[in-house]
């Protein structure tokens, strides 16, 4: 007799099954890391593909996020005569939240989807099976280098995003709105803490997001049905699952790290 | 569980299958299938679509495992091999996929060089010479710098063949190598299969539907249906053995032992007329 579950029940069961399956896949990836070290060039190639090729979108978005944040803060803080604190607030917002979160969301959209689509198409065109037949382990050659590349690229991209956002805030606040340059930098350096804001905010969060987004992207690529429709659904699932995971993990990490 | 005699191989048999039984998604694919593939010969496996020909190749290479039975490849029981042992065995097997399965990120040269780079530490000049020789063997030395997307179907299959023979394997498995080829490309592939078999002594197993092509290249043919070998023999005479299976398959009859209708329930019930079938 089939268990009686409604649509909600099925959704929960399917989600839990996906999470369990993803967890096992993570263990498989981690176990394959020693074997994948011989494919170091492939990891470097993927690092170029997911990291360096994502620089443009990360830099442009970082710049505009910093600019718009400064603009909004300046107008709000001017009501209280506190515009000199704008740079400080921009920096704290970027380091603690916007930097890691927006970078991870952009990374999921730019690199995560391409990883999923690439692996999905490799499956659909028998390239993964061909590697198996050539006695090449696809987990060590295809999955792990992409996973490691995402893990390494995310903190670096987050640093670039934060730098561009601060530059954007400076551009609007100091160059356009006339905040004193010395006040902008001195308030910022006085308040930003290396451990709380840089290590916990930027590095720790971005490493966690890099792990999750890369895992989801690679897993969806391998789990996708080898059809064009399957690949389309898998790329969509990568973005949706990554976005939800990023925001949920951000809340948990913030609660523990504050 | 099916009873079967444990398989052993001698010098004349490279692949021996005994009592292979496989059920996929509740559907029986093989039902105690027995088959001996002779060493150094070209063997064709034929049968209607969906009879498990490609699945049989995947069993031979250990990509899939049966529910019962044994498959010995060069004396090794595929089902009992560890992953590392299986990979070692596969280094001696070439597999030509139906859609060629070339790595789309790499050009023709790098596709053929791929197994060499993964499994050997040969100097670059030796890898280059080996790849050029293999490409010369399939007539595509001049296409070394092309990307897979720039190749025709026939060319892609020949590149895949060059990649499959780069280690001079003992066994090559061809999955429907003639599908979608024009007459020129078809004859080129036929010539290559025969040449590789004769000059290198490679055992070849090909899954195909085209009897005329099989007649030109194969030494022995197996016809499988209902999960078993229903006929076997010389490809030039097998069509004349008079069994209903060979008559339907080689005569191209729409109905026969392989039914026209996929198994289904009562038509009357499906149409809402309970008594129609009576």
pLDDT digits (tens, 9 = 90+) for A155-186: 999 999 999 999 999 999 999 999 999 999 99
Percent of chain A with pLDDT over 70: 98
If you write DSSP's letter for every residue of chain B in order, what string do you get?
----PPP---TTEEEEEEEEEEEETTEEEEEEEEEEEETTSEEEEE-STTSSHHHHHHHHTTSS--SEEEEEETTEEGGG--HHHHHHHHTTEEEE-TT----TTS-HHHHHHHHHHHH----HHHHHHHHHHHHHHTT-GGGTT--GGGS-HHHHHHHHHHHHTTT--SEEEEESTTTT--HHHHHHHHHHHHHHHHHH--EEEEE-S-HHHHHHH-SEEEEEETTEEEEEE-TTTGGGS--HHHHHHHHT-SSSSS-SSPS---HHHHHT-TTTT-
pLDDT band at B4 (very low <50, low <70, confident <90, very high): very low
Q: Judge contact between A98 and A199, C-beta under 8 A.
A: no
A122, A130, A131, A132, best to mutate vs chain B, most B CBs in 10 Å? A130
Q: Which of B101, B104, B118 sits opposite A136 (nearest CB)?
A: B118
Confidence check: pLDDT of B3 > 50: no
Q: Which of A121, A132, A141 sits opposite B63 (nearest CB)?
A: A132
Confidence check: pLDDT of B275 > 70: no
Interface contact B99-A132, CB threshold 8 A: no
Domain of residue B231, CATH code: 3.40.50.300
Asked if the interface predicted TM-score (ipTM) of this complex is over 0.85, the answer is no
Interface contact A125-B99, CB threshold 8 A: yes
Q: How far is B205 from chain A (nearest CA, A)?
A: 15
Q: Which two tokens stand for residue B149?
A: 């997307």
Q: Is residue B134 part of a domain?
A: no
Q: Is residue B91 part of a domain?
A: yes
Sequence spans of domains, chain A: 40-257
pTM greater than the 0.95 cutoff: no
Q: Is residue B145 part of a domain?
A: no
Q: Which of A121, A126, A135 sits opposite B97 (nearest CB)?
A: A126
pLDDT for B274 equals 65
Confidence check: pLDDT of B10 > 80: no
Q: Is residue B85 part of a domain?
A: yes
Q: How far is A124 from chain B (nearest CA, A)?
A: 9
pLDDT band at B198 (very low <50, low <70, confident <90, very high): confident
Closest among A193, A178, A177, A214 to A43, alpha carbons compared: A214
Percent of chain A with pLDDT over 90: 74
A-chain residue closest to B58, CA distance: A133
pLDDT band at B5 (very low <50, low <70, confident <90, very high): very low
Residues A79-128: tens digit of each pLDDT: 888 888 889 999 999 999 999 999 999 999 999 999 999 999 999 999 99
Which structural domain range is residue B78 located in?
A: 13-101+168-250
What's the number of domains chain B is made of?
A: 1
Q: Is residue B3 part of a domain?
A: no
Q: Which of B90, B97, B99 sits opposite A135 (nearest CB)?
A: B90
In this prediction, residues A55-69 reach a mean pLDDT of 96
Tell which B residues from 107 to 146 touch A, by Cβ distance under 8 Å: 114-115, 118-119
Mean of pLDDT over chain A: 92
Residues from chain A contacting residue B93 (CB–CB below 8 Å):
133
Interface contact A135-B101, CB threshold 8 A: no
Residues A6-49: tens digit of each pLDDT: 777 888 888 888 889 989 999 999 999 999 988 899 999 999 99
Tell which A residues from 141 to 180 touch B, by Cβ distance under 8 Å: 141
pLDDT for A55 equals 96
Confidence check: pLDDT of B6 > 60: no
Residues B81-130: tens digit of each pLDDT: 998 999 999 999 999 998 899 999 999 999 999 999 999 999 999 999 99
């Amino acid at each position: 007799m089939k268990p009686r579950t409604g649509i909600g029940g099925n959704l929960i069961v399917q989600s839990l099954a996906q999470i369990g399956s993803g967890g096992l896949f993570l263990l498989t990836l981690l176990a394959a890391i020693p074997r994948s070290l011989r494919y170091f060039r492939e990891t470097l190639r993927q690092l170029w593909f997911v990291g360096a090729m994502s620089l443009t979108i990360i830099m442009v978005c970082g710049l505009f996020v910093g600019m718009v944040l400064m603009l909004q803060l300046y107008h709000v803080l001017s009501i209280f005569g506190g515009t000199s604190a704008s740079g400080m607030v921009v920096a704290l917002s970027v380091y603690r939240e916007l930097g890691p979160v927006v970078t991870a969301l952009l990374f999921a959209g730019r690199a995560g989807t391409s990883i999923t689509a690439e692996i999905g198409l490799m499956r659909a065109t028998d390239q993964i099976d061909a590697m198996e037949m050539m006695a090449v382990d696809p987990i060590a050659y295809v999955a792990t280098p992409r996973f490691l590349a995402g893990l390494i690229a995310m903190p670096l991209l987050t640093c670039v995003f934060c730098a561009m956002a601060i530059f954007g805030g400076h551009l609007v606040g100091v160059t356009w709105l006339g905040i004193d340059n010395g006040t902008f930098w001195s308030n910022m350096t006085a308040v930003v803490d290396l451990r709380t804001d840089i290590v916990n905010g930027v590095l720790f969060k971005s490493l966690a997001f890099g792990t999750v987004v890369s895992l989801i992207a690679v897993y969806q690529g391998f789990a996708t049905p080898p059809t064009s429709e399957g690949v389309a659904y898998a790329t969509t699932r990568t973005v949706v699952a990554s976005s939800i995971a990023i925001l949920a993990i951000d809340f948990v990490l913030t609660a523990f790290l504050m | 569980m099916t009873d079967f005699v444990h398989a052993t191989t001698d010098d004349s048999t490279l692949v021996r299958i005994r009592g292979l039984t496989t059920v996929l998604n509740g559907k029986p694919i093989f039902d105690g299938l027995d088959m001996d593939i002779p060493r150094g010969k070209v063997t064709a496996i034929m049968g209607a679509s969906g009879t498990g020909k490609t699945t049989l190749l995947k069993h031979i290479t250990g990509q899939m495992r049966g529910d019962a039975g044994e498959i010995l490849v060069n004396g090794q029981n595929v089902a009992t091999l560890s992953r590392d042992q299986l990979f070692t065995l596969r280094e001696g097997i070439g597999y030509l996929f139906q859609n060629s399965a070339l790595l789309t990120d790499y050009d023709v040269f790098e596709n053929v060089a791929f197994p060499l780079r993964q499994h050997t530490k040969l100097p670059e000049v030796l890898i280059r010479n080996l790849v050029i020789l293999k490409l010369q063997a399939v007539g595509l030395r001049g296409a070394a710098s092309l990307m897979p997307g720039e190749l025709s179907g026939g060319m892609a299959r020949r590149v895949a063949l060059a990649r499959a023979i780069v280690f001079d394997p003992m066994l090559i498995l061809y999955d429907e190598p003639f599908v979608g080829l024009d007459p020129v490309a078809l004859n080129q592939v036929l010539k290559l299969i025969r040449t590789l078999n004769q000059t290198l002594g490679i055992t070849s197993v090909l899954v195909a539907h085209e009897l005329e092509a099989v007649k030109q290249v194969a030494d022995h043919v197996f016809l499988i249906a209902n999960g078993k070998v229903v006929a076997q023999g010389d490809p030039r005479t097998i069509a004349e053995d008079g069994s209903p299976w060979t008559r339907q398959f080689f005569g191209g009859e729409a109905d026969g032992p392989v039914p026209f209708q996929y198994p289904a329930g009562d038509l009357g019930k499906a149409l809402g007329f309970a008594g129609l079938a009576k």
